[in-house]
């Protein structure tokens, strides 16, 4: 306040004579060039000429940024993920007789900066043709945008079994596994952001497809759970699983799933041809005693059919959940309301 008074007095003294309201008005008009708003005057007095201009420039840039967002332009953020300097991730694609979708999926994930390797889980009776293998190898080399080209390989299995998608993989160079179905496309910036989230909690699952278990008691006193799909999560904001159709987890869980999980769970998945993703969620929750992390982001499903489209899918999933809990002897899932989002893409955070 003393600074403002001193400035005012100096301005008045420059005009000469004693103080009067008329002289003060005249002085203000002379100094500020005619009736600028009071806020403008105070800001200029407070910050000085150079700082005041800088503040106006920052405000102008902010307005231009907001206007550009309305017009559809979005800034491109350089990825902080590097497959060589930070380890990157291995994309593990599960496929079944959908070569056209597999080609699209491999081409897309080869273009992501964080992709260190792409492994395709192949469980068909006939091995992939040489033509398909050559095509996919060339696509990886062509689409990759880094000097370090992702390592591409098929992992062949002799039988059709959903447990195959979680078999241990030899020669992995990364700790991070991104498990994904062949018909799911996650944009590269969204995928790389999810990877940075996983790096903060590498022992839990981090993914894009949340689900929930809900406690339900029946009349006979036995505890049963209801499987909550997407609409349940959307309505309540609560989840306890992220499905492995689009999720990060540590490579150690491939070993644990195959060699440490109860054999009865393996047998169940083989027999029912379903619910391997629920089994993995239970495994990780049992090991960490912590919830997974749901990452906010758009994903695209480019396929038209799958197990989830079959009639009675929800009832099958509910039965799987309760049967697995019986086999485990406990309920390890932990619910949460936390969702990870990229603040650079948010207006309010």
Which positions are catalytic?
A: 277
- Dist CA 109 CA 143 (whole Å): 9
In sequence order, the β-bridge partners of residue 184 are 301
Write down how long the chain is: 349
The CA–CA distances, whole Å, from 254 to 133, 165, 201, 246, 337 equal 25, 9, 17, 16, 27
Of residues 328, 238, 229, the one with CA closest to residue 283: 328
Of residues 267, 270, 283, 289, the one with CA closest to residue 335: 289
**Which residues are CB-contacts of 205 (< 8 A; sequence separation ≥ 6)?**
241, 242, 244, 247, 248, 249, 280, 281, 284, 292, 293
What are the structure tokens assigned to 149, written together? 């080209």
Of residues 118, 112, 110, 113, the one with CA closest to residue 179: 118
- Dist CA 114 CA 97 (whole Å): 27
CB of 280 within 8 A of CB of 249?
yes
Gyration radius of the chain over CA positions: 30
- Dist CA 316 CA 323 (whole Å): 10
What are the structure tokens assigned to 191, written together? 């995928």
Three-state SS annotation for 51-79: HHHHHHHHHHHHHHHHHHHHCCCCCCCCC
- Dist CA 104 CA 184 (whole Å): 10
**Residue 168 DSSP label:** -
């Amino acid at each position: 306040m003393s600074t403002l008074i001193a400035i005012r007095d100096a301005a008045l003294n420059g005009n000469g004579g004693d103080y009067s309201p008329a002289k003060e008005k005249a002085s203000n008009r002379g100094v500020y060039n005619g009736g600028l708003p009071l806020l403008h005057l105070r800001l200029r007095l407070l910050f000085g000429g150079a700082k005041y201009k800088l503040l106006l420039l920052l405000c102008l840039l902010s307005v231009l940024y907001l206007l550009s967002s309305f017009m559809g332009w979005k800034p491109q953020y350089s990825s902080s993920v590097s497959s060589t300097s930070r380890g990157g991730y291995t994309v593990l694609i599960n496929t079944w007789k959908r070569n056209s979708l597999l080609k699209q999926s491999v081409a897309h994930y080869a273009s992501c900066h964080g992709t260190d390797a792409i492994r395709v889980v192949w469980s068909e009776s006939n091995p992939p043709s040489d033509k398909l293998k050559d095509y996919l190898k060339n696509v990886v080399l062509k689409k990759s945008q880094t000097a370090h080209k992702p390592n591409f390989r098929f992992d062949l299995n002799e039988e059709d079994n959903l447990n195959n998608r979680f078999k241990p993989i030899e020669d992995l160079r990364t700790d991070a596994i991104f498990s994904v179905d062949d018909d799911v496309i996650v944009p590269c910036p969204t995928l790389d952001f999810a990877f940075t989230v996983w790096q903060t909690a590498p022992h839990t699952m981090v993914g894009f497809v949340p689900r929930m278990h809900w406690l339900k008691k029946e009349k006979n006193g036995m505890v049963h759970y209801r499987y909550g799909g997407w609409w349940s999560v959307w309505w309540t904001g609560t989840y306890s699983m992220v499905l492995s159709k689009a999720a990060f987890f540590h490579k150690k869980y491939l070993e644990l799933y195959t060699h440490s999980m109860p054999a009865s769970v393996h047998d169940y998945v083989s027999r029912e041809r379903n619910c391997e993703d629920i089994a993995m969620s239970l495994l990780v929750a049992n090991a960490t005693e912590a919830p997974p992390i749901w990452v906010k982001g758009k994903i695209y499903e480019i396929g038209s059919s799958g197990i989830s489209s079959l009639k009675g899918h929800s009832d099958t999933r509910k039965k799987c959940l309760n049967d697995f809990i019986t086999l485990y002897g406990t309920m390890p899932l932990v619910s949460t309301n936390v969702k990870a989002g990229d603040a650079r893409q948010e207006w309010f955070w």
